[in-house]
Amino acid sequence: MGLENREYLRDSDYEPPVRRGGRAWSMCAMLIAANVAVFLLQLLTASTAGESAVENLLILNIDDFFGRVQVWRILTYAFCHSRAELFHIVFNMMTLYVAAQLVLTVLQEREFVWVYLFGAIFAGLTSLIFYAFQDPGAQILGASGAVLTALTLAAIYHPRQKLLLMGILPLEMRWLLALFIAYDLMPLLSGASTGTAHSAHLGGVAFGFLYHKAGFNFTRFFAGMQQNSRVRRARRNLKVFSPDNDSRLEAEVDRILSKISESGEASLTASERRTLAKASRELRRKNGG
C-alpha cells in the first residue's frame, strides 16, 4: 500500500514550526526510524522464495486478523512497506516529515504520535471492511493511511501553506489534499485494480477530519484514565478515622472485662477474644508501639 506515482514534494515559502521544548522533531524521527527498522528487518528475513518472516508476521489481512485473532496486525502493518518498490517507503517517510512540520506547530509531540498510531488503526479497519467485500485475500501494508491522517491535519491547520510539486508548481495544502483524495477515489468508483489500498488512504483522511471535528485529545484522555485509576486505588486503600468506632470498641472492651471479672477468661467467646486482640493492637498503635 502506498502513495506511489505521485509527484515529489518540496517546501515552498515554508515558515519554520514553533519548536516545543527544543525537541520538535524527536517523535517524528522516532516514527521514521521505526518504519525504516521494520523495513530493514523485512529485507533481512526475506528468503530466496520471496517470503519475509517479519513481513508475514506483521502485515494485515482478513484471515489472520479475524480468523486467527492476530490483533496486533491492525497496527504493525503500517510499519511494513513493499520490498519490491523502495519508493514506497521513501515517499511515505518524506511525506510524513513534511506533514509533521506543519502539524507539530499545533499539536504536542506525544499527541502527534497518538494521532499517527490511531490513524493507522482506523485506516487498517477501513481497508479490512472494504476488502471483506471486494478482495478477502488482500494483503495490506504501508504507512500511507497514517501518513494521510497527518497530511489531512496539516491541510486543516495550514490550508494556504504552499508546497512545490516537482520543484516547480506551487500548490496550497488544501488543494494538494484534494488531489490525493481524488487520486484514491477514482479507482474505487471505477472498480479499477491498481494494487494500492486506496480504501486505507481514504480511511486515513477520514480519521484526520474526524479527529479535528470531534476535538479529540488522546494525551488528555489517557492521562485522565490514569488519574482515575490512581483515585480508585487510593479509595480502596483509604482508612477513615471515626471517633464513634473507638467509643464502641471501648464500650465492648469494658463489657468483656466485666465478664472476665465475673466468670473468668474461660467464659469468653472466640469473637470476644478477637475484640480484645484488636483493642490491644489499637492501643499499641496509639502509643507508637
Closest CA to 146 of 8, 40, 28: 28
Tens of pLDDT, residues 131-142: 998 888 999 999
Q: Which of 39-43, 136-140, 244-248 has the lowest mean pLDDT?
A: 244-248
Domain boundaries, the chain: 9-231, 243-286
Q: With pLDDT > 90 as the criterion, what percentage of the chain qualifies?
A: 56
Three-point CA angle 94, 88, 123, nearest 5°: 85
The residue that leads in pLDDT, 103 or 246, is 103
With beta carbons less than 8 A apart as the criterion, state whether 100 and 112 touch.
yes
Average pLDDT (250-255) is 82
- What's the DSSP call for residue 78? G
Query: Within 10 Å of residue 203's Cβ, how many Cβ atoms?
Result: 28
The amino acid at residue 53 is: A
Q: Do the beta carbons of residue 65 and residue 140 sit within 8 Å?
A: no
| Total-model pTM | 0.73
> Quick one: how far is CA 40 from the chain centroid?
23
List, edge to edge, every strand of the sheet that includes 9-11.
9-11, 162-165, 169-172
54-70 confidence digits (pLDDT tens) = 999 999 999 999 999 99
**10 Å Cβ neighbour count for 48?**
5
Which pLDDT belongs to residue 9?
45
Architecture of domain 9-231: Up-down Bundle (1.20)
Of 56 and 7, which is predicted with more confidence? 56
